[in-house]
Amino acid sequence: MLKGLFGDSRQGRRDDAELGKGVWRRAHDRFRRGLDRFHQMLEGVEEEARNAPSAGDDYAALVPVANALAELLPLVRGIAARAHAVAPSEGMEIPTGTGGYLNDVHRELSRAGNALAAAAEAVAMVRLGAGEVPGVVRRAGMVQAHVNRAAELLDKGPSGPA
């Protein structure tokens, strides 16, 4: 218990140093929470698959989607860390950048987090039999697109064309 507590504390300090306590940290944390929720919903589908063999197909189809989304977390962290290095944030305000590109980077990270929450909701609907796997795949694709766009905007920086 104490080891976990101290580990969490150390991770929190690392996060503070790398991501700050402002908008970049919140964007990263929102994405991480969405990913956790997605995996919680997936565990529910796995449980259903044990009880009803027909649900096993859904679970098998969703595992690669979950893995692909999990692979985005280090990228999101990297984007947030780079953005914080360029324009540190310790509050609720998005730091200004030449041309407003940081607003766009933050917007795409926020959209990625929201799309991930929608994907987790879609997994819950699959579990309840009210949704289908292609809907989850479509939402996961939206998450990927928003993360890619955030990286592209940050790479382009303030000097790139609008």
pLDDT tens, 22-57?
A: 999 999 999 999 999 999 999 999 998 888 877 779
Q: Is residue 29 part of a domain?
A: yes
Amino acid in the structure at residue 10? R
- What residue numbers bound the domain in which 39 lies? 2-156
pLDDT at 162: 47
Please give the residue that has the higher pLDDT: either 126 or 9.
Answer: 126
Contact present, 42 and 66 (Cβ < 8 Å): yes
DSSP 98: G
> What percentage of the chain reaches a pLDDT higher than 70?
88
- Cα(51)–Cα(55) distance, integer angstroms: 8
How many domains does the structure of the chain reveal? 1
pLDDT tens, 62-92?
A: 999 999 999 999 999 999 999 999 999 888 8
Q: Is residue 63 part of a domain?
A: yes
